Amino acid sequence: MIPARCERLLRQISCPAKALEPLAPLTTFHIGGPAQILAEVRSTDDVVELMKLLTQEQVPFFYLGLGSNLLVSDAGFDGVVIRATGELCRIELSHGHIRAGSGARLLDVTIFAAAQGLSGMETLCGIPGSVGGGLYMNAGAYGGEIADTFVAADALTADGRIVTLTKDEIGFGYRSAPALQNVLILESRYALAKGEPGKIYSEMRRVWKLRREKQPLDFPSAGSMFKRPPGDYAGRLIEAVGGKGLQIGGARVSPKHAGIFVNAGNATAADVTALVREIRRRVYEKFGIMLQTEVKPVGFEADPFTIES
């Protein structure tokens, strides 16, 4: 049965929206309960109008992107989950810069760049996320980060203003983008160097080959579970405490890559959080290092990964 608040909000939301929509199929982990409301914004105007309504009604919201790097609670999300569609997924070349909407796939942006003979994003081609999600965490792989070619982004602030944020203003760090945490990214721009298409595609194939060889692509996952600790690797520490292959319920530390937790079959969010806490506990007890999670929990009342140190 749809709650009364849901029905009232659905009548006020002008973009396509559904109540009690399952989120598991919309995440790369294939885990999680329903969104109270799933709204699909198609334009900047849709985003502005929806955010004005949610602010007025004091309704919690979450911007989903492509559902990678997330763990959704088994209870789902008690609020509005927002997905970008339409012009918010557009990719184009304008005034020498690649312009990409927040909902565009990073893979599509790298393919577009290669087709234009533009180099600088090749290492991002295997990251299974959106541009917006990639910016929020300064996504990177194999020595490259999305910040490397970033120029500026247009974003919606909590008070309803559209602002332009430059690279220096954002203050990108390792898997972090401090100034983006309280805004909604609408569009971003990138400056790439001219390159030879053959070499660009060759580098992209090299990155894909590395991913196939080193990562468990045959099981649903959210990517790397932990940030890299200073001077070390999460995977090495996990292996050293006997965590590689460890399984709780349907959640498993991948036997192929200890830094990635997979849904080995009907895993629940509770399975994953229990496994994360067990691995963090073992590593802390042996090495005195508290691994920091890279995967973002959504829909939990408190941080589900916390253990007592």
The CA angle 194-104-145, to the nearest 5 degrees, is: 55
14 is an active site residue: no
Helix (H) or strand (E) holding 81, with range, is: strand 77-84
117 three-state secondary structure: coil
Reduced DSSP (H G I as helix, E B as strand, rest coil) percent helix, strand, coil of the chain, to 5: 35, 30, 40
Residue 262 to residue 271: CA distance in whole angstroms:
11
Residue 191 to residue 291: CA distance in whole angstroms:
34
**8: CB partners within 8 A, 6+ apart:** none
Q: Which of the following is catalytic: 21, 145, 187, 294?
A: 294
Helix (H) or strand (E) holding 37, with range, is: strand 34-41
Residue 82: name the closest of 147, 9, 180, 179 by CA.
Answer: 9
175 is an active site residue: yes
Mark residue 268 as left, alpha or beta (left: phi above 0; alpha: psi -120 to 50; beta: remaining). Answer: beta
Place of tokens 């300064």: 138
Q: Residues for the chain: how many in total?
A: 309
DSSP state of 228: P
Q: Which of the following is catalytic: 130, 188, 224, 254?
A: 224
Rg over alpha carbons for the chain, rounded to the nearest Å, is 20
Residue 267 to residue 32: CA distance in whole angstroms:
9
Residue 192 to residue 121: CA distance in whole angstroms:
8
Residue 65: name the closest of 105, 29, 99 by CA.
Answer: 105
Q: Which of the following is catalytic: 175, 211, 228, 277?
A: 175
Q: Which residues are catalytic?
A: 175, 224, 294
